[in-house]
A and B are shown apart, each in its own frame.
Chain A
Amino acid sequence: MNQTLTIQKERLGTYLNQSFIEVGRATEFAIRFFKEAIRPPYEFKELLKQCYLIGYKSLPLVTITGFIMGLVLTLQSRPTLAEFGAESWLPSMVALSLIREIAPVITALICAGKVASGIGAELGSMKVTEQIDAMEVSAINPFKYLVVTRIMATTLMIPLLVIYADGIGIVGGYMGINIHGDVNVVRYLSQVIESITFLDIFPATIKTFFFGYFIGMIGCYKGYNAENGTESVGKAANSAVVTASLTIFIIDMIAVQVTDLFF
């Protein structure tokens, strides 16, 4: 009995130890990004290509989810508001929830699923098939070419995708309102715009940069450090999604606290 307890303690010990080592290595990786990012030469062409692949190619998915978010949010909130006779608040409420919380988090999660796993799998397979080593021996810095460009692309594109999702969500909200009644577009939009202040948009946008940075960073970290063997490619992609999604929630929680403190 005592022995099993000791063994379990030991296991917990090694597990914690490994977690700390992993966090340490990820931090080192994150810091290396900033060091390499500021040192020329810059890989502009690859950066543009990655922005296209990460931003533009995610548009259909973000469009559909953004629209549904707005629509569903409206339909779900309506009965509650109607109970209090506050149906006229519907547009402002939908817009505020979308912009402050729902669009950033849902879009980031969708991108964690699509982008972080894609990067994890791509870099993982490049690692396993020695393509990253091949770059290194031909005196090309693979970190700069592969990692820096991808992290920069996600950091720039996720905020744009979120702003786009905000817009589409508001359109979805309009559709949702029109299922039951008939609201003039101009009135709807002016109500939406009136209810949004700078303080709703600013903190929400700042946090999306962090979402983007971590989606790229975690995808790259998992792929770039994949072990040998093909099964590790799947592992890299999978753990990129899980870690990125979890990180998004944690950042969101921190963001709420910080926003509360300052605004």
Chain B
Amino acid sequence: MEKNYTLQNSNPVIEIKDLHKSFGTNEVLKGVTFNLNKGENLVVLGKSGSGKSITIKCIVGLIKIDSGIITVFNQEINSLEIDELNKIRTRIGFLFQNAALYDSMSVRENLSFTLRRHDTTLSGDAINEHVLEVLESVGLKEAIDKMPSELSGGMRKRIGLARTLILKPEIILYDEPTTGLDTITSREISELILELRQKNKTSSIIITHDMPCARLTSDRIVILKEGVIHVEGTYDELEKSEDEWVRSFFI
């Protein structure tokens, strides 16, 4: 796999500046600042509850931020009208931590639901073809007529990923794509993430607790601590960090 694909370009597709967010008295984010460059795989690490999921939810406007600036494709998302925000949202794929498949729909409907609404010109056959194509890319073609309740945790993650891919997003935000999966499946998913980047030239933010996944997929890593980005660097750099707390992630 193409490791060390370090990008020296500074062509950010996502820019986050001084992001603040609290829930009541619980200050979760206290000035998060980082960029995602075009074509880059950025891994976000941090202890449970440090605000990783919140951060990427702010990027797609799911959560209203308290202060700070988030720019996606050079547009500041806080100031956008809902229609413009939705245009940006169709260019971003979001894989939820727990897949968030629509329970009342079969796998096929889960995938075609979004597609049908965004491209009303597509025929039934064309939609079917697209659905099969993305299912093939996550290796789950046989699950097409199953209901989400019939799927295992790993299968749900992959169907969630397939649903994310169906609109051919330019940016993908992965929230713990491998958590709760066995090592072999985790590795397959990590490789899938790399493959997608190569095939579709996507830029990704990958939140994970799974260090093999981080090693395999990351071009760059940022670590969130106490509401700010504590350090930033490549896997190899951070593994040898002077900071014991940082090193403890890599054991």
**Judging by beta carbons under 8 Å apart, are A130 and B96 in contact?**
yes
Question: Is B29 part of the binding interface, using a Cβ–Cβ cutoff of 8 Å?
Answer: no
How many residues of chain A are within 8 Å of chain B by beta carbon?
Answer: 14
Q: Which residues between 123 and 182 of chain A lie within 8 Å of chain B, taking CB atoms? A: 125-126, 129-131, 133-140
The answer to whether B87 and A131 have CB atoms under 8 Å apart is: no
Which of A125, A135, A137, A140 touches B103 (beta carbons < 8 Å)? A125
Give Cα distance in the complex from A140 to B94, angstroms.
13
Residue B101 at the chain A interface, CB threshold 8 Å: yes
Contact of A137 among B87, B92, B98, B102 (CB under 8 A): B92
Name 18 interchain pairs, CB-CB below 8 A, sorted by A. Answer: A129-B98, A129-B103, A130-B100, A133-B57, A133-B100, A134-B94, A134-B102, A136-B89, A137-B89, A137-B92, A138-B94, A138-B114, A138-B167, A139-B86, A139-B90, A139-B118, A140-B114, A140-B117
B86 partner residues in chain A, CB cutoff 8 A: 139
> For residues 72 through 96 of chain B, which have their beta carbon under 8 Å from a beta carbon of chain A?
86-87, 89-90, 92, 94, 96
Contact of B100 among A129, A139, A140 (CB under 8 A): A129
Is B60 interfacial (CB 8 A cutoff)?
A: yes
Q: Is the CB of B89 within 8 A of A138?
A: yes
Contact flag A139-B87 (CB < 8 Å), given A129-B100, A133-B96, A134-B94: yes
Interface, chain B (partner A; CB < 8 A): 57, 60, 62, 86-87, 89-90, 92, 94, 96-98, 100-104, 113-114, 117-118, 163, 167
Kindly state the separation between the CA atoms of A138 and B117 in the bound complex, as whole angstroms: 10
List of B residues within 8 angstroms of A129 by Cβ: 98, 100, 103
Cross-chain contact of A139 among B89, B96, B101 (Cβ < 8 A): B89
Closest to A49 in B: B104
CA distance A136 to B86 in the complex (A): 8
Residue of chain B at shortest CB distance from A126: B103
Cβ-defined contact, B101 with A137, below 8 A: no
The residues of B that contact A140 with a CB separation of less than 8 Å are 113-114, 117
Task: Name 13 extra pairs, CB < 8 A, besides A129-B100, A130-B96, A137-B92.
Answer: A126-B102, A129-B103, A130-B97, A130-B98, A131-B101, A131-B102, A133-B57, A134-B102, A137-B89, A138-B90, A138-B167, A139-B86, A139-B118
**Nearest Cβ on chain A to B151's Cβ, whole angstroms:** 14
**Which residues of B lie under 8 Å from residue A139 when comparing CB positions?**
86-87, 89-90, 118
Given contacts A139-B118, A140-B114, A140-B117, contact A131 B103 (CB under 8 A): yes
Query: B85's closest neighbor in chain A, by CB?
Result: A139
5 closest A-B pairs (Cβ-Cβ)? A139-B86, A130-B100, A134-B100, A139-B89, A137-B94
Cα(A136)–Cα(B60), bound, Å: 9
Q: Which residues of chain B are within 8 angstroms of A130 by Cβ–Cβ distance?
A: 96-98, 100
Give CA–CA (A134, B113) in the complex, Å: 12
A residues in contact with B62, CB < 8 Å: 133, 136-137
Complex interface: chain B residues within 8 A of A126 (CB): 102-103
| A residues less than 8 Å from B94 (CB atoms) | 134, 137-138
A61 to chain B, nearest CB (A): 21
Q: Nearest residue in A to B63 (C-beta to C-beta)? A: A133
Instruction: List CB contacts (< 8 Å) of A51-69 with chain B.
Output: none
Bound together, the chains give a CA A126 to CA B90 distance in angstroms of 21
- Whole-angstrom distance between the alpha carbons of A135 and B103 in the complex? 12
Q: Write out, one digit per residue, whether chain A residues 107-136 have a CB within 8 A of any chain B CB (1) or not (0).
A: 000000000000000100110011101111
How far apart sit A232 and B202, CA to CA, in the bound complex (Å)?
37
Q: How far is the CB of B224 from chain A (nearest CB, A)?
A: 20
Please, how many angstroms separate the alpha-carbon atoms of A121 and B148 in the complex? 18
Q: Report the minimal beta-carbon distance from B55 to chain A, rounded to whole angstroms.
A: 14
A122 to B104, CA, bound (A): 10
Residues of B within 8 A of A131 (CB): 100-103
Tell me, rounded to whole Å, the shortest Cβ–Cβ distance linking B169 to chain A.
10
Residue of A nearest to B102 (CB): A131
Q: Report the separation of the CA atoms of residues A214 and B62 in the bound assembly, to the nearest whole angstrom.
A: 28
Q: Which of A130, A135, A137 has the most CB of B within 10 A?
A: A137
Residue of B92, B100, B163 with most chain A CB atoms under a 10 A cut-off: B100
